[in-house]
Amino acid sequence: MFKQFLQHIPGADFYMIASLALFLVFFLAVGWYLITADKTKMDEMAQIPLGSSNDSSSETSSY
Interatomic CA distance for residues 39 and 37, integer angstroms: 6
Angle of CA points 51, 53, 57, to nearest 5°: 115
Q: What is the pLDDT of residues 29-49, one digit of tens each?
A: 999 999 999 999 888 888 888
Secondary structure (DSSP) of 6-62? HHTSTTHHHHHHHHHHHHHHHHHHHHHHHHHS-HHHHHHHHTGGGS-TTS-SS----
- Using alpha carbons, select from 14, 19, 22 the residue that is nearest to residue 6: 14
The residue ranges of every structural domain in the chain are 2-37
- The predicted pLDDT at position 32 comes to 96
22-31: per-residue pLDDT in tens? 999 999 999 9
Averaged pLDDT for residues 10-16? 83
> Is 0.85 topped by the overall pTM?
no
